[in-house]
């Protein structure tokens, strides 16, 4: 029996180095990943230059290095399974990043010569190994195992381990594009600012320094560059007056400074630097380092504001939401403190009461707060997990949030400005095209006119039939654009009005609540006074108290309805709702006016067990209040019989609700127009008659008619798989509307 063996041709090294690693910058990234996987706390990449350009690349780290046996058994053993066996690094438990076993052959891809100098532990000794590889010797036709490499080995003193790779006789030219790729890839590794993993030593983080004179001119600290690459960097410290001094350097904002009015009397020797990383390509200052890809990869793991106390990281700050940023986002707390509200008011387009709604997630803030030697009042817990609760710590949180909130307000301003500038730029470019000034309100109109002119000149070259077809299509399309634009402008105008009114309603609700507080106080006063009075006077006081409590009850019901307006529809889930109860509540809102005009509401044909939905309670009330309000207005304007009837039936899985009234009625020819926005008085009779019949003090109850009510009702219903339509009047009724509810 004869034994046969495989041999390996040196050409394989070329295959591995050049085919697997297509570009030189990919190769260099792999070598830095090897340093990371070797638990280095830093790596320096040096591009050494001579007169003809980059001549050598040095990669120097302080990782665990290799002893002589490891160099021989692993480093010089092609496609070793060493990395496959261990998913995490030995000392710090870092998830390994390098590709399996090919990193070393990237050296061959980078240059024709490599000197490997590595120092690692061998039991209690420290071994330094130096080997030089001349890849030119590994020519096709030779066997890998037969080529020798010169090396030396020595035992050294001290405990400093690490690896130096010196690559010379470089194979390829480096480009700026390749260099930037390198920085972006390494930024993810540089984002590791230290972490603890169970069963391992504490990871101090990974610093990357790049010394590349031809590209940068000076040594770059990649982490520092990364922090500066996002939308903005905010630095802050406490000055001698114990006030916060914050400096923001941000895209579209430039450099800004603020000194707080509030004092942080318990803080001293505090500094912070935080990068604000927004996941938006247009909101990065240096896309050579930050990209959507790197940020997406980096932020979930490494985002957060860490605290360093006298140079050491304090856990768990940075891994948790100690600044309550995500908490504020979850609760949609958009209002900054008074000082920052006043500041927000100075920035055009920023809504001071909602200026913090654009706060990013805690992971989008990356940086450190340094508590120095002179700081007092910070005491670590016995388990070393954070500081004991103290006024100082609370102040620290407030100080950092002040800086972040201030920057957030600028960010809100930046967004507004960008949108405005983009609109302005498109207007300017159109102006240039048509060589005429355009008012900002007439951009669409001007664009359409320009298109029309161009179209005419182009279409004149077409045969008649084609010209006619194209003209019809063109004018229909442009007409739709113009009409839609006009309608949007009108709607926007009214929505602005409504939006401002809703704020007023909330202010009004707040004031009414205050009044109710006084009312409660007065009721108690009356209660106390009553005790000292005779029977007759006590009865009178009882009557007054009853009256006050009834009025208060009505006000509270209305307040509950206004509270529904403020409901965050994303949080509030649509529910199944008992229809009878809601009609009853909605009718109470009009009780005073219905009583004073003798209007009766018949609800006897609303079965108690009809449940509609899922629908938001606020939406159902919007439908009911609008329809009741319309019927009441119409009845008063008609000034005849004064009846409203609501009947409800269930059929085919849907609920049909009929609203019938004895008002003015609806002109059958105009039924189609009634749900069109801004048509408030289709026959022109309603408001002129109302003017005559309505007591002036009641006008506010029925509204002035924006013409939006029924269109909003229709939109709400359709969005919930329902609808509304007008039916021909039946019996004595003048108007019949049928609402279909889910």
Partner 1 sequence: MKKIKFLWLDDESKNTKRSVSDEFKMKEGFSKSSRFINVKNENVWNILEKDVYPTLDKYDLILIDHNFGGTQDTRLTGATVAESIRDRIKNRPIIAITNVPDIDIHKQSAYDDVIEFTRDISRKTDYLKSISEGYHVLSKKALADIDDLLKLMKAPKDDHERIKKIMPHELKSNITDPSFAYQFFKWSRFKFMERPGFLLDRLWASTLLGIKENRFSVVESLFEKAKYSGIFSKTSSDLWWQSQIKKLLFDTLADQPEMLPWRLGHALPGLTSNDIPLCHACKGEFPEVVAFTDETGKTSRPMHIKCTELHKEYESSLYFEDIRVMRAE
Min dist CB 262 to partner 1, Å, is: 9
Nearer to partner 1, 196 or 588 (CB): 588
Nearer to partner 1, 180 or 390 (CB): 390
Q: Taking CB under 8 A as the criterion, which residues in 354-393 touch partner 1?
A: 391
The tokens describing 167, both together, are: 């690559």
Q: Which stretch binds partner 1 (CB under 8 A): 115-123, 430-438, 455-463, 512-520?
A: 512-520
SS3 content of the chain, % helix, strand, coil (to 5): 45, 25, 30
CA distance 118 to 76: 13
Determine if 676 is a binding residue for partner 1 (CB under 8 A): no
Determine if 572 is a binding residue for partner 1 (CB under 8 A): no
Min dist CB 657 to partner 1, Å, is: 13
Min dist CB 601 to partner 1, Å, is: 19
Min dist CB 508 to partner 1, Å, is: 14
Helix (H) / strand (E) containing 128: strand 125-134
Answer for which of 349, 607, 668, 725 binds partner 1 (CB under 8 A) is 607
Answer for which of 255, 518, 571, 692 binds partner 1 (CB under 8 A) is 518
Helix (H) / strand (E) containing 716: helix 709-719
Determine if 523 is a binding residue for partner 1 (CB under 8 A): yes
All residues at 6 or more sequence positions from 27 whose CB lies less than 8 Å from its CB, including other chains: 17, 21, 106, 107, 109, 110
Helix (H) / strand (E) containing 304: strand 304-309
Nearer to partner 1, 642 or 650 (CB): 650
Nearer to partner 1, 349 or 517 (CB): 517
Per-residue contact flags (x/-) with partner 1 for residues 535 to 564, judged by CB under 8 A: ---------------------x--------
Min dist CB 209 to partner 1, Å, is: 40
Min dist CB 741 to partner 1, Å, is: 12
Q: Which stretch binds partner 1 (CB under 8 A): 110-118, 609-617, 636-644, 732-740?
A: 609-617
Answer for which of 10, 185, 398, 662 binds partner 1 (CB under 8 A) is 398
Q: Taking CB under 8 A as the criterion, which residues in 322-351 touch partner 1?
A: 324, 337
CB neighbourhood size of 405 (10 A): 22
Determine if 525 is a binding residue for partner 1 (CB under 8 A): yes
Q: How many helices (H) and strands (E) does the chain have?
A: 20, 22
- Nearest CA to 625 out of 556, 724, 709 is that of 709
Determine if 292 is a binding residue for partner 1 (CB under 8 A): no
Q: Which stretch binds partner 1 (CB under 8 A): 104-112, 233-241, 462-470, 510-518?
A: 510-518
Nearer to partner 1, 83 or 401 (CB): 401
CA distance 302 to 365: 10
Determine if 394 is a binding residue for partner 1 (CB under 8 A): yes
CB neighbourhood size of 592 (10 A): 12
Strand, helix or coil at 540?
A: helix
Contact assessment for residue 406 and residue 247, using Cβ atoms and an 8 Å cutoff: no
Q: Taking CB under 8 A as the criterion, which residues in 98-117 touch partner 1?
A: none
Determine if 528 is a binding residue for partner 1 (CB under 8 A): yes
Determine if 719 is a binding residue for partner 1 (CB under 8 A): no
Determine if 580 is a binding residue for partner 1 (CB under 8 A): yes
Q: How far is Cα of residue 517 from the mean position of the Cα atoms in its chain?
A: 38
CA distance 41 to 205: 6
The tokens describing 477, both together, are: 């399309």
| HEC readout, 35-83 | HHHCCCCEEEEEEEEECCEEEEEEEEECCCCCCHHHHHHHHCCCCCCHH
DSSP secondary structure string for all residues of 141-171: TSBGGG---EEEEEEE-SS--EEEEEEEEE-
Contact assessment for residue 648 and residue 609, using Cβ atoms and an 8 Å cutoff: no
Q: Which stretch binds partner 1 (CB under 8 A): 469-477, 499-507, 514-522, 706-714?
A: 514-522
CA distance 662 to 736: 9
Min dist CB 216 to partner 1, Å, is: 43
Nearer to partner 1, 281 or 510 (CB): 510
Q: In what order do the strands lie in the sheet with 312-314?
A: 254-263, 243-250, 232-238, 270-276, 365-371, 304-309, 312-314
Determine if 527 is a binding residue for partner 1 (CB under 8 A): yes
CA distance 443 to 449: 10
Q: Taking CB under 8 A as the criterion, which residues in 459-498 touch partner 1?
A: none
CA distance 489 to 584: 37
Min dist CB 362 to partner 1, Å, is: 16
Answer for which of 219, 380, 514, 592 binds partner 1 (CB under 8 A) is 514
CA-to-CA dists, residue 732 to 662, 663, 686, angstroms: 7, 10, 19
Answer for which of 280, 453, 575, 699 binds partner 1 (CB under 8 A) is 575
Nearer to partner 1, 386 or 729 (CB): 386
Determine if 651 is a binding residue for partner 1 (CB under 8 A): no
Q: Which stretch binds partner 1 (CB under 8 A): 181-189, 239-247, 461-469, 517-525?
A: 517-525
Q: Which stretch binds partner 1 (CB under 8 A): 183-191, 249-257, 472-480, 605-613?
A: 605-613
- Nearest CA to 552 out of 570, 531, 526 is that of 526
Partnered with residue 732 across adjacent β-strands are none
Nearer to partner 1, 576 or 596 (CB): 576
Residues that bind partner 1 (CB under 8 A): 324, 337, 391, 394, 398, 513-514, 516-518, 520-521, 523-525, 527-528, 531, 556, 575-578, 580-581, 607-611, 617, 650
């Amino acid at each position: 029996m004869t034994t046969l063996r495989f041999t390996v041709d040196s050409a394989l090294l070329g295959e591995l180095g050049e085919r697997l690693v297509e570009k030189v910058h990919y190769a260099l990234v792999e070598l830095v990943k090897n340093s990371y996987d070797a638990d280095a706390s830093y790596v320096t990449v040096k591009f050494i230059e001579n007169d003809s350009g980059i001549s050598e690349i040095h990669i120097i780290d302080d990782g665990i290095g290799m002893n002589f046996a490891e160099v021989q058994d692993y480093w010089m053993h092609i496609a070793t399974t060493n990395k496959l066996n261990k998913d995490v690094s030995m000392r710090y438990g870092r998830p390994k990043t390098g590709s399996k076993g090919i990193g070393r052959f990237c050296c061959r891809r980078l240059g024709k010569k490599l000197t490997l100098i590595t120092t690692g532990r061998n039991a209690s000794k420290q071994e330094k190994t130096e080997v030089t590889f001349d890849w030119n010797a590994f020519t096709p036709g030779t066997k890998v195992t037969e080529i020798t490499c010169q090396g030396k080995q020595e035992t050294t003193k001290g405990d400093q381990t690490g690896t130096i790779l010196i690559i010379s006789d470089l194979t390829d030219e480096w480009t700026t594009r390749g260099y930037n790729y390198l920085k972006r890839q390494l930024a993810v590794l540089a984002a590791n600012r230290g972490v603890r993993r169970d069963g391992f030593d504490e990871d101090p983080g990974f610093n990357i320094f790049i010394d590349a004179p031809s590209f940068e001119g000076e040594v770059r600290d990649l982490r520092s560059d990364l922090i500066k690459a996002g939308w903005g960097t905010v630095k802050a410290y406490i000055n001698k007056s114990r006030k916060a001094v914050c400096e923001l350097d941000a895209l579209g904002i430039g450099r800004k400074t603020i000194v707080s009015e509030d004092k942080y009397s318990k803080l001293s020797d505090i500094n912070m630097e935080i990068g604000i990383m927004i996941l938006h390509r247009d909101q990065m200052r240096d896309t050579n380092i930050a990209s959507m890809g790197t940020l997406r990869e980096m932020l979930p793991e490494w985002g957060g504001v860490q605290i360093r106390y006298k140079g050491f990281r304090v856990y768990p700050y940075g891994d948790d939401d100690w600044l309550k940023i995500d908490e504020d986002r979850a609760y949609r707390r958009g209002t900054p403190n008074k000082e920052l509200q006043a500041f927000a008011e100075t920035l055009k387009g920023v809504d001071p009461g909602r200026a913090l709604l654009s706060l990013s997630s805690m992971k989008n803030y990356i940086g450190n707060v340094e508590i120095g030697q002179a700081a007092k009042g910070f005491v670590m817990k016995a388990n070393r997990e954070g500081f004991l609760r103290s006024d100082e710590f609370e102040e620290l949180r407030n100080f950092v949030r002040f800086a972040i909130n201030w920057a957030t307000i600028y960010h809100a301003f930046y967004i507004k400005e960008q949108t405005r500038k983009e609109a302005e730029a498109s207007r300017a470019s159109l102006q240039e095209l048509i060589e005429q000034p355009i008012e900002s309100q007439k951009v669409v109109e001007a664009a359409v006119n320009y298109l029309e002119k161009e179209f005419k000149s182009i279409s004149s070259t077409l045969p008649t039939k084609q010209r006619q077809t194209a003209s019809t299509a063109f004018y229909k399309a442009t007409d739709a654009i113009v009409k839609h634009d006009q309608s949007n402008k009108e709607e926007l105008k009214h929505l602005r009005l409504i939006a401002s009114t809703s704020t007023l309603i909330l202010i009004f609700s707040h004031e009414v609540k205050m009044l109710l507080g006084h009312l409660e106080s007065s009721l108690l006063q009356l209660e106390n006074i009553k005790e000292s009075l005779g029977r007759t006077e006590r009865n009178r006081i009882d009557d007054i108290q009853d009256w006050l409590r009834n009025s208060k009850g009505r006000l509270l019901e209305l307040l509950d309805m206004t509270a529904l307006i403020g409901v965050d529809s994303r949080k509030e889930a649509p529910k199944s709702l008992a229809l009878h109860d809601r009609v009853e509540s909605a009718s109470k809102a009009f009780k005073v006016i219905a009583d004073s005009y003798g209007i009766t509401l018949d609800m006897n044909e609303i079965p108690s067990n009809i449940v509609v939905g899922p629908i938001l309670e606020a939406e159902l009330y919007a439908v009911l209040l609008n329809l009741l309000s319309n019927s009441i207005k119409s009845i008063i304007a008609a000034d005849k019989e004064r009846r409203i009837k609501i009947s409800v039936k269930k059929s085919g899985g849907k609920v049909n609700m009929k609203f019938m009234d004895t008002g003015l009625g609806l002109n059958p020819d105009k039924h189609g127009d009634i749900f069109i926005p801004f048509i408030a008085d289709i026959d022109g009779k309603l408001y002129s008659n109302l003017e005559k019949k309505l007591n002036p003090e009641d006008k506010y109850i029925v509204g002035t008619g924006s013409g939006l009510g029924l269109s909003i009702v229709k939109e709400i219903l359709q969005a919930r798989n329902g609808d509304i339509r007008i039916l021909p009047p039946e019996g004595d009724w003048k108007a019949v509307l049928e609402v279909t509810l889910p």
